[in-house]
Structure 1
Amino acid sequence: MTDDTTARFGLPLLAAGQAGKELTHNEALARLELLVQPAVVALGVNLPPEVPRIGECWVVGTDPGGAWAGHANALAGWTAGGWRFAAPVEGLGGWCVSSAKPIAYHNGLWQEGDVSCARVVIGGQPVVGSRAAAIADPAGGGVVDDAARTTLAAILSAMRQHGLIAR
């Protein structure tokens, strides 16, 4: 952190005896508007839209041009004062309106639609945890029941396809 910006998001700080504090304060609020639970129009866009609406936000692509040049991977928001940019920080998350999917910034990249967790808990009960070892397809036995084997194989196939058990 410098004496005039915050450590994580680089928001401008007020200084003792500063004239025009409202300018610094308003700039910080405009940037916070981008950073607090951002809902972006689209992810990975390299050129600004021709007619943005105040309050709209985008995730800039990796090769930006025009008014977005030099702001790769940043959040770009259109305000009454023009474009505002906020560099993403590790773990920043939001929502992509056009794809209706969550977005998150991890390891220097924006990821769309991925949800990472150790387990899923519903109503206090863990329902999905770490993937278990593979389960062998049914085979052998004293009495052959083709219908049962077909059903078990279909269940196992569906569980493998959904990633609930290993292949």
Structure 2
Amino acid sequence: MATSRLGLPFVAEGQAQPHVTHNEAMDMLDAAFPQIASSATETAAPVNPAEGAAYILPPGAWGFGAVEPGQIALRHGGIWHAITPVPGWRWFVLDEGAARVFDGTAWRPGDVVGAQGGRLGLGAFDAVVDLSGASVSVADLLPARAIILGVSSWVVEAVTGAASYSVGMAGDLSKFGGSLGLAAGSSNVGVVGPFATYSPDAVVVTASGGAFSGGRLGLSVAAIVPGVPV
């Protein structure tokens, strides 16, 4: 016997070594409770999955034992366990930087899902770029059909060659920040008046006072992402 949602094993009356069953249930609960999935789009199981790793299985997924598409595959004790979702469950998906919600039929991108499947989500779309030359463009980092709240930046490795840098987009190269610091650990939260995108767009990092000769920069787009159920 097991619980109906997470499949946690019950301790049977009078069973030997009840601590084994109890500990197994605690391990599975510990892995499932954070509600964090590595991916919702990977179709092939990882070769060396980490203990406690979880995946929301898309159509066509294979290699996850008896876990079926739509279920959550949870790695525990060296095997895959199936968790069957119920409507309203919300899991954060690491490789998307955003949440998905189960609406009873499918896992929809978003933080909330309406009764008819409309959805609304928050997203953080990240990149780390190596700097060289006069500017570096990160294609399609601004998602389509979204409300952009800002683009934050942080220096991963000290920037060299330039006197400062700016972060923006075509037509406004300092939209998300200008005259920014070069030292490792320097950062800027580039909030702006929210604006809509209708197609993917690039974030541009531009050198000031000389060309980039080195350095690495982290970028994160903060966005509200609406959607429809199809």
In structure 1, what is the Cα distance between the partners aligned to 2:70 and 2:15?
Answer: 32
Aligned counterpart in structure 2 of residue 61 of structure 1, from 53, 58, 63: 58
Distance in 2 of aligned mates of 1:109 and 1:70: 15
SS of residue in 2 equivalent to 1:37: coil
Q: What is the identity, as a one-letter code, of the residue corresponding to 1:52?
A: P
- The Cα shift of 1:75 comes to 1.4
Structure with more relative contact order (C-alpha pairs < 8 Å, separation 6 or more): 2
Deviation of 1:29 (Å): 2.2
Taking the TM superposition and a 5 Å limit, the aligned residue runs for 1:1-167 are 4-116=1-113
- Residue type matched to 2:79 in 1? G
* Percent identity of equivalent pairs: 26
Q: Could you say which structure has the larger radius of gyration?
A: 1
Distance 1:68 1:83, change over 3 A: same
Looking at structure 1, the residues matched to 3 and 11 of structure 2 have their Cα atoms a distance apart, in angstroms, of 10
Q: Which secondary structure does the structure 1 equivalent of 2:64 belong to?
A: helix
Number of residue pairs the alignment of both structures matches: 120
Tell me which protein shows more helix as a share of its residues.
1
- Cα 1:28/1:42, change in 2 over 3 Å: same
Structure 1, unaligned stretches of length 5 or more?
Answer: 119-157, 163-167
TM-score by length of 2: 0.44
Counterpart CA distance in 2 for 1:95 and 1:107 is 17
Displacement of 1:102: 1.1
- Deviation digits for residues 71-110 of structure 1, max 9, x if unmatched? 2222112234332221212222110111111111112211
- Structure 1 residues 54 and 11: CA distance shift in structure 2, 3 A: closer
- Structure 2 gaps, min length 5: 116-194, 199-223, 225-230
The residue identity in structure 2 corresponding to 1:12 is P
TM-fit CA distance, 1:35: 3.0
Checking the alignment, whether the CA contact within 8 Å between 1:40 and 1:58 is kept in structure 2 is yes
From the superposition, tell whether residues 60 and 79 of structure 1 become closer, same or farther in structure 2 (CA, over 3 Å): same
Give the TM-score normalised by the residue count of structure 1: 0.59
SS in 1 for 2:21: helix
Q: 1:73 to 1:30 in 2, by over 3 A?
A: farther
Report the Cα distance in structure 1 between the residues aligned to 2:13 and 2:90, rounded to whole angstroms.
33
Q: Which amino acid aligns with 2:108?
A: Q
Q: What displacement does 1:117 show?
A: 6.7
Compared with structure 1, are the counterparts of its residues 97 and 70 closer, same or farther at alpha carbon in structure 2 (3 Å cutoff)?
closer
User: Aligned pair in 2 of structure 1 residues 75, 16: CA closer, same or farther (>3 Å)?
Assistant: same
1:119-152 C-alpha deviation (Å, 9 max, x unpaired): xxxxxxxxxxxxxxxxxxxxxxxxxxxxxxxxxx
User: Does structure 1 retain, via aligned residues, the 8 Å contact 2:67–2:73?
Assistant: no
Structure 1 residue 34 displacement after superposition: 4.0
